[in-house]
C-alpha cells in the first residue's frame, strides 16, 4: 500500500471514530453498545430496531440469515471479522443490507445471498451520505456494493468478488465518494462509476468478464494507483470528461488496457502502465460523432501489446507527450479520417515489429496531415531512425518520415528516448536535451560539473573542456555510440572526470578514449560491447577506479611514447571480464596474484608473473622500465597489440609463454637488454617475436610459426643470440634489420612465403646450422656485410642463399640443393668467400654471380644443376678447386666477365644440345686443358668475356668442348 493510500485509510478510520464519539456525546446521552449473537429470528435487525442513533452494534462470530434494514442514522455495525461473521440474505429478492440513513458504518462482515436482479449485498439508497463501508467481504450477490445517488461515502478494503450477475462495486449518480484498497474481481464488471468528483485509489480489479473499471457520463473523477488486469478491458471512460487517471496499472487485459470512447474529452492520463494487453495499451476512439477530443497523455507506458501501444481513432486535438510505446506491433497508430490536430512529441517509439509510428488516412481524405509530430524544436525518439547527430545536441540532423502519412514528418527526431531535460550544468543551472549540447554551451567553462539523468543517450561525445561528467544519481545512464566506428567518449582535455555510466556500442571504436590527456579520472563505469573498452593513449597521471570492462573486443588498452605516460593510478577495483587489473608502479619483490585479468608493471624490480591467462586487452603483460623480473607459464592470446611487451626493461626472464593470435606481436621487446627468452610459443600473430633496439638478449627453443609477417624480427638490435628456434610458415621466418653481431644457430626457418632468413643492412652476423627449406628465398642477405654462414641446409627453396649488395661474407660448409632457381646467388656483392659448400641439383645454377667482384669461390661441389657456376658481368673473382661436373648445360660459364681466375676446377661430364660455338672476344684467355668429349656441352665456357685466367682446370667428357670461346 502506498503512503498516499495508507494516509487515506487512516483518515477514514479516524473519521469513523469521530462519528462514534460524536454520537456518544451529542446525540444520546450515554450512547449504548449492543452485542449480537447468532440465534432464532433476526438478531441484527432486532438490535437495530432497539438502538438509538449513535449506538454501536457488535456482531459476533456466526452466521446470520436475514435481510437487514439500517434505517437509523449514525449507527455503527462492527463484525468480529469477515472471516468469522456471515450475513446471508434470507430472501434473494432483497438487499442483504439496505442503508437509508446517513452516517452509517458497516465493517467486518461477510455479506452474501442477494442474487436476484438488481439486488446488492450492501446498498446505500438515494440521498444516503457520509457512510463508511470497511473491511467487508461481499460475494455471490447480483451486485456487491451499490451506491445510488449517494455521496461523500468511504469504501475501504472491501472484497467484492464473484458477484456474477452484475458488478463488484456500483456507483450510480453518486459523487464525492472515496474507494480505497478494495478488491473487485471475478464479477461481470469490477467497478462501475456514474458520478462526479469520486476518488478511486489502490483498488484491484481483475478477472472480470467485461470492464475492470468503467465510468459512464462521469466528470472530474480521479483514478490513481489502481491495478486492473486480466479483464476483457481494463479501464474504460465513456462519455466521461475532465477525469484524471494517474499511476494505474492496466496490463494483461484481453482487449485494451485503457479506453476513452464516445466523446470522452479533456481527460488527463499520466504515468499509467498499459502493457501486455491483447489489442491496445491505450485506445482513444469514438464510433459516433463527435470525436474523442482534447485528452492529454503524459508519461504513460504502453509496451508489448498485441497490436498498438497507443491508438488514436476518430480522435481530435489530443496531446501525446513523453510516453513510451515499445515492442508492440505499432508503437503509435493514428487512424480514421477525423483524427486531426493531434500533437505528438517527446515520446519513445522503439522496437515495434511493424511500425514505430503510423499515421493513416481513411479512404482518400488526408486531413490527418495536420497532426504535429514535433513541438517545433524537438520531436520523438524512433528506434529505426537512421540519421546522425553531428553537433551532439540530441536531435537528429534529418527529418523522420511518418509511414503511410503522405507527408507528415517529425522535423526534429530525438537521438535517445525522452526522459526530460536530464542533462544539467550544476554550475550554471542550465539544462539540456543532449550531453554534447551541455559541453558545447558557451556558458560551460572549465571546472564545471555536468550531471546526466537516467536514460539512453545515443551519440559520440567529444570532451574538449576540463569537466566533471557524472550520473545524476539514478545509476541508469547508458551512452551508446551514435556512430559505431567512432569513440563513445573522446577526451582531449586534461582533468576530466567521467563517472557512473554504461558506455557501449562503439563496435569499431573505443568506449572511453583518453587522447593525449593528463590527470583524468574514470570511475564507476561499465564499458561493454565496444571494440576497445577504455584506451589511455599518450596520457599521463590518470586514475581509474571501480570500472567494469567486459565483452569488449579488447577491454583495456594503454599506449605511450614516454616513461611518464605509463605512470597512472589504476587499482584492482577495475576488472576485465570479471578479473582485476593489476597495474603496479614503483613496486618491488612482489608476485602478481593468480586472478589477474591484465598485468602492467612500471618502474619496478623483482616482480614475478606466472600461471595466468591474459586475453582480449591491448596486451597481456606489460613490463615498462622494469628489471630483474620473471614472466613464466603464462598464456597471452588474442590481445589487440601484443601478448607480452617489454619496454626499456632489463634482466628479465620470459619462459614457457604462449603468446599466440595477438594482433601485432606475440612477444615484443623495445629498448630492452639482457633478456632471456626460452621455450616460448609465438604463433599466429602479425609478428611472432619482435626485438626493437634491444641488445644482448638470448632467444632459445622458441616456436614462432604461422605469423602473418615475421616469425622472429630484430630491428636495430645487436649482439643477440638465437638458438634452437623454429620459424616456419610465416611470410619471413627470421628477419634482421639494421642489426649486427647477432648469432642464429640451430634454427628451422622453413615453408615461409618469402624468406627463411632475411638480413637487411645487418653486419657481423653468424648463421650456423640453420635449416631453411621450402621458402621463396632460403637465406637472403641485402646490404649486409662481414657475416658468416656455416653448415646450413638451404634446400628445396625457389632460391637458396642470396647475397645482394653485400660484401665480406663467408659461406662455408652449407648444403644448398634442390632449389628451383639458384643454389647460391651473389648479386652486386664482393669480397666474399664461398668455400666447401654443396650446391647440387638446383634448377638453374649451383652458383650465380652477377655484377660482383673480388669474390673467392673455392672447394665447392656444384653438380647436377643446369649450370654449375655462372658469372655474368663479374670481374676479378677467383674460382678455384671447385667441382662443377655433371651439369645439364655447362660446368662453368662466364658471360661478359673479365679478369677472373679459374684454377684447379673440375668440370667433367657436362652436356648441352646447342653444340660448340667459338667467340672471337675470348682471345686473351689462357687454356691449359685439352678438348673434352664428343657432345655439345662445355666444361668451361666463356662468352664475351676477356682477360680471364684459366689454370689447371679439368674439363673432360663434356658433350661439346672442354673449353669454348673465340681462339680457345
CA dihedral 99, 103, 109, 115 (to 10 degrees): 20
Rounded distance between C-alpha atoms, residue 642 and residue 22, angstroms: 87
pLDDT for res 14:
39
* Cα angle, residue 755 at apex, residues 874 and 846 outer, rounded to 5°: 40
Q: Specify whether the CB–CB gap between 679 and 656 falls below 8 A.
A: yes
Calpha distance 575→544 (Å, rounded):
10
- Predicted confidence at residue 369, as pLDDT, reads 58
CA dihedral 499, 501, 507, 509 (to 10 degrees): -20
Question: Distance between CA atoms of 224 and 277, rounded to whole angstroms?
Answer: 19
| Angle (nearest 5°) at CA 818 between 835 and 775 | 95
CA distance 343 to 460: 30
Q: Identify whether 35 is part of a domain.
A: no
Under a CB-based contact definition with an 8 Å cutoff, are residues 387 and 396 in contact?
yes
Strand 431-432, strand 423-425: pairing = antiparallel
In a domain? residue 441: yes
CA distance 508 to 528: 13
**Kind and range of the H or E run holding 18:** helix 3-26
118 near 93, Cβ under 8 Å?
no
- Interatomic CA distance for residues 359 and 315, integer angstroms: 12
Give bridge partners of residue 840 from the DSSP assignment.
none
> In sequence order, what are the residues at sequence separation of 6 or more whose Cβ sits closer than 8 angstroms to the Cβ of residue 389?
395, 396, 397, 415, 434, 436, 458, 459, 482
Q: Which residues contact 232 (CB under 8 A, 6 or more apart)?
A: 208, 209, 210, 211, 253, 254, 255
Give the Cα separation of 749 and 737 in Å (integer). Answer: 17
How far is residue 916's CA from residue 918's CA, in Å, rounded to a whole number? Answer: 7
Q: What pLDDT shows up at residue 16?
A: 42
**Nearest of 382, 362, 380, 364 to residue 372 by alpha carbon:** 380
- Measured over the CA atoms of residue 925, residue 929, residue 935 and residue 938, the dihedral's sign is negative
Query: Which set of grid coordinates corresponds to residue 967?
Result: 681462339
φ, ψ for residue 4, nearest 5 deg: -65, -40
Distance between first and last Cα of the chain: 121
How many helices (H) does the chain have, and how many strands (E)?
Answer: 3, 93
- pLDDT at residue 961, rounded to an integer: 47
| 3-state SS record for 471-488 | ECCCCCEEEECCCCCCCC
What pLDDT sits at residue 106? 99
Domain that residue 452 falls in = 425-535
Give the number of other CB atoms < 10 A from CB of residue 578: 10
Residue in 268, 326, 328 with CA at minimum distance from that of residue 295: 268
491 in a structural domain = yes
pLDDT confidence of residue 832: 98
Locate 454 and state its grid cell: 537516467
Segments in the chain below pLDDT 50: 1-29, 362-368, 913-937, 961-968
How large is the greatest C-alpha to C-alpha distance in the chain, in angstroms? 161
Could you list the beta-strand ranges (E) of 603-686.
605-613, 619-624, 627-635, 642-647, 650-655, 665-670, 676-678
CA–CA separation, 675 vs 397, rounded Å? 56
* Burial of 377 from C-beta contacts in 10 A (0-12 / 13-18 / 19+): exposed
Rounded Cα–Cα distance for residues 898 and 853 (Å): 10
The angle at the Cα of 661, spanning 660 to 663, to the nearest 5 degrees, equals 120
Question: Within a 13 Å sphere around the CA of 653, how many CA atoms are in the beta-carbon half?
Answer: 13
Q: In sequence order, what are the residues at sequence separation of 6 or more whose Cβ sits closer than 8 angstroms to the Cβ of residue 714?
A: 691, 694, 720, 735, 736, 737, 739, 742, 762
What is the DSSP secondary-structure string of 216-258?
ES-BS-EEES-EEESSSEEEEEES-BS-EEES-B--S-SSEEE
Measured distance CA(637)–CA(735) in Å, rounded: 23
CB of 166 within 8 A of CB of 145?
no
Whose grid coordinates read 642464429?
A: 744
Residues 6+ apart with CB under 8 A from 54: 20, 22, 23, 24, 26, 27, 28, 31, 74, 75
Going by C-alpha positions, the residue among 554, 456, 568, 469 that lies closest to residue 511 is 554
Q: Which residue is it, cell 630492452?
A: 672
**Phi/psi at 563 (5° precision):** -55, -40
Round to whole Å and give the CA distance between 219 and 653.
85
Contacts of 43-48 spanning 24+ positions with Cβ under 8 A:
44/68, 44/77, 44/87, 45/69, 48/72, 48/75
What is the per-residue pLDDT across 176-229, written as a single tens digit (0 to 9) for each? 999 999 999 999 999 999 999 999 999 999 999 999 999 999 999 999 999 999
Beta bridge partners of 260: 237, 284
Q: Cα separation of 730 and 753, whole Å? A: 6
CA distance 102 to 147: 13
**The predicted structure's pLDDT at residue 8:** 40
Residue 874 near residue 895 (C-beta atoms within 8 A): no
**Buried b or exposed e, range 80-114, using 16+ CB within 10 angstroms:** eebeebbbbbbebebbbbbbbbbbbbbbbbbbbbb
Helix (H) or strand (E) holding 823: strand 822-827
Q: How many domains does the chain have?
A: 1
Amino acid at each position: 500500500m502506498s503512503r498516499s493510500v495508507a494516509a487515506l485509510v487512516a483518515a477514514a478510520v479516524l473519521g469513523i471514530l469521530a462519528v462514534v464519539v460524536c454520537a456518544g456525546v451529542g446525540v444520546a446521552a450515554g450512547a449504548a453498545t449492543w452485542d449480537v449473537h447468532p440465534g432464532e429470528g433476526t438478531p441484527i435487525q432486532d438490535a437495530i430496531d432497539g438502538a438509538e442513533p449513535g449506538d454501536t452494534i457488535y456482531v459476533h462470530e456466526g452466521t446470520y440469515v436475514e435481510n437487514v434494514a439500517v434505517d437509523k442514522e449514525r449507527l455503527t455495525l462492527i463484525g468480529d471479522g469477515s472471516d468469522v461473521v456471515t450475513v446471508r440474505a434470507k430472501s434473494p429478492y432483497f438487499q442483504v443490507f439496505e442503508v437509508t440513513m446517513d452516517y452509517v458504518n458497516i465493517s467486518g462482515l461477510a455479506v452474501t445471498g442477494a442474487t436476484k436482479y438488481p439486488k446488492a449485498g450492501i446498498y446505500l439508497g438515494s440521498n444516503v451520505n457520509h457512510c463508511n463501508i470497511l473491511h467487508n467481504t461481499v460475494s455471490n450477490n447480483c451486485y456487491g456494493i451499490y451506491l445510488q445517488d449517494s455521496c461523500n461515502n468511504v469504501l475501504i478494503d472491501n472484497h467484492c468478488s464473484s458477484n456474477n450477475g452484475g458488478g463488484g462495486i456500483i456507483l450510480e449518480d453518486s459523487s464525492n465518494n472515496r474507494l480505497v484498497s478494495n478488491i473487485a474481481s471475478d464479477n461481470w464488471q469490477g467497478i462501475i462509476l456514474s458520478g462526479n468528483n469520486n476518488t478511486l485509489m489502490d483498488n484491484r480489479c481483475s478477472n472480470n468478464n467485461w470492464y475492470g473499471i468503467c465510468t459512464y457520463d462521469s466528470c472530474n473523477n480521479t483514478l490513481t494507483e489502481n491495478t486492473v488486469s486480466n479483464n476483457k478491458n481494463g479501464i474504460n471512460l465513456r462519455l466521461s470528461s475532465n477525469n484524471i487517471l494517474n499511476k494505474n496499472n492496466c496490463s494483461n487485459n484481453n482487449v485494451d488496457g485503457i479506453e476513452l470512447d464516445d466523446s470522452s474529452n479533456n481527460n488527463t492520463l499520466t504515468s499509467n502502465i498499459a502493457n501486455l494487453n491483447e489489442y491496445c495499451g491505450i485506445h482513444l476512439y469514438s464510433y459516433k460523432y463527435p470525436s474523442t477530443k482534447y485528452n492529454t497523455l503524459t508519461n504513460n507506458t504502453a509496451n508489448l501489446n498485441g497490436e498498438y501501444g497507443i491508438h488514436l481513432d476518430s480522435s481530435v486535438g489530443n496531446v501525446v507527450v513523453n510516453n513510451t510505446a515499445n515492442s508492440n506491433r505499432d508503437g503509435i497508430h493514428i487512424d480514421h479520417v477525423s483524427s486531426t490536430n493531434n500533437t505528438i512529441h517527446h515520446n519513445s517509439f522503439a522496437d515495434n515489429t511493424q511500425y514505430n509510428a503510423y499515421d493513416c488516412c481513411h479512404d482518400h481524405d488526408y486531413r490527418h496531415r495536420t497532426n504535429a509530430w514535433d513541438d517545433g524544436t524537438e520531436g520523438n525518439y524512433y528506434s529505426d531512425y537512421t540519421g546522425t547527430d553531428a553537433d551532439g545536441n540530441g536531435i537528429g540532423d534529418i527529418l523522420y518520415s511518418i509511414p503511410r502519412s503522405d507527408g507528415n514528418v517529425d522535423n526534429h527526431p530525438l537521438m535517445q528516448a525522452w526522459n526530460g531535460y536530464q542533462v544539467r550544468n550544476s554550475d550554471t543551472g542550465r539544462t539540456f536535451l543532449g550531453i554534447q549540447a551541455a559541453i558545447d554551451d558557451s556558458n560551460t567553462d572549465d571546472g564545471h560539473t555536468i550531471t546526466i539523468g537516467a536514460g539512453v543517450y545515443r551519440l559520440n561525445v567529444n570532451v574538449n573542456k576540463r569537466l566533471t561528467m557524472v550520473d545524476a544519481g539514478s545509476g541508469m545512464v547508458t551512452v551508446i555510440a551514435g556512430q559505431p566506428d567512432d569513440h563513445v567518449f573522446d577526451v582531449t582535455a586534461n582533468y576530466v572526470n567521467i563517472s557512473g555510466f554504461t558506455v557501449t556500442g562503439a563496435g569499431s571504436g573505443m568506449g572511453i578514449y583518453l587522447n593525449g590527456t593528463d590527470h583524468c579520472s574514470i570511475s564507476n563505469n561499465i564499458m561493454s560491447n565496444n571494440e576497445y573498452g577504455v584506451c589511455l593513449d599518450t596520457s599521463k597521471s590518470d586514475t581509474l577506479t571501480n570500472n567494469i570492462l567486459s565483452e569488449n573486443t579488447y577491454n583495456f588498452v594503454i599506449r605511450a611514447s614516454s616513461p611518464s605516460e605509463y605512470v597512472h593510478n589504476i587499482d584492482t577495483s577495475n576488472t576485465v571480464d570479471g578479473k582485476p587489473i593489476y597495474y603496479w608502479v614503483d613496486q618491488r619483490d612482489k608476485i602478481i596474484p593468480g586472478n589477474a585479468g591484465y598485468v602492467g608493471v612500471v618502474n619496478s624490480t623483482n616482480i614475478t608473473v606466472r600461471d595466468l591467462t591474459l586475453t582480449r586487452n591491448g596486451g597481456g603483460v606489460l613490463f615498462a622500465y622494469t628489471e630483474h623480473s620473471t614472466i613464466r607459464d603464462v598464456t597471452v592470446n588474442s590481445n589487440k597489440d601484443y601478448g607480452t611487451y617489454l619496454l626499456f626493461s632489463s634482466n628479465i626472464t620470459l619462459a614457457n609463454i604462449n603468446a599466440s593470435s595477438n594482433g601485432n606481436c606475440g612477444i615484443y621487446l623495445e629498448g630492452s637488454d639482457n633478456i632471456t627468452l626460452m621455450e616460448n610459443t609465438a604463433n599466429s600473430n602479425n609478428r611472432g617475436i619482435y626485438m626493437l633496439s634491444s641488445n644482448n638478449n638470448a632467444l632459445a627453443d622458441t616456436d614462432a610459426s604461422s605469423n602473418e609477417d615475421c616469425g622472429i624480427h630484430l630491428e636495430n638490435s645487436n649482439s643477440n643470440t638465437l638458438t634452437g628456434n623454429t620459424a616456419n610458415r610465416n611470410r619471413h621466418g627470421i628477419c634482421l634489420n639494421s642489426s649486427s653481431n647477432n648469432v642464429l644457430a640451430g634454427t628451422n626457418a622453413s615453408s615461409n612465403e618469402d624468406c627463411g632468413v632475411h638480413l637487411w643492412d645487418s653486419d657481423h652476423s653468424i648463421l650456423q646450422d640453420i635449416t631453411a627449406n621450402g621458402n621463396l628465398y632460403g637465406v637472403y642477405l641485402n646490404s649486409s656485410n662481414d657475416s658468416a654462414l656455416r653448415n646450413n641446409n638451404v634446400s628445396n627453396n625457389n632460391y637458396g642463399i642470396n647475397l645482394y649488395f653485400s660484401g665480406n661474407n663467408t659461406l662455408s660448409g652449407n648444403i644448398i640443393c634442390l632449389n628451383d632457381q639458384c643454389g647460391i646467388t651473389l648479386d652486386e656483392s664482393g669480397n666474399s668467400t664461398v668455400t666447401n659448400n654443396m650446391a647440387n641439383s638446383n634448377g638453374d645454377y649451383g652458383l650465380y654471380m652477377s655484377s660482383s667482384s673480388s669474390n673467392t669461390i673455392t672447394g665447392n661441389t656444384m653438380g647436377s644443376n643446369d649450370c654449375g657456376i655462372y658469372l655474368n658481368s663479374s670481374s676479378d673473382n677467383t674460382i678455384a678447386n671447385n667441382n662443377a661436373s655433371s651439369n645439364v648445360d655447362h660446368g662453368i660459364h662466364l658471360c661478359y666477365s673479365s679478369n677472373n681466375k679459374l684454377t684447379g676446377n673440375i668440370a667433367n661430364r657436362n652436356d648441352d644440345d646447342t653444340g660448340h660455338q667459338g667467340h672471337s672476344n675470348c682471345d686473351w684467355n689462357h687454356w691449359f686443358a685439352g678438348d673434352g668429349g664428343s657432345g655439345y656441352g662445355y666444361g668451361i665456357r666463356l662468352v664475351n668475356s676477356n682477360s680471364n685466367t684459366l689454370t689447371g682446370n679439368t674439363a673432360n667428357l663434356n658433350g661439346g668442348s672442354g673449353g669454348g670461346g673465340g681462339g680457345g
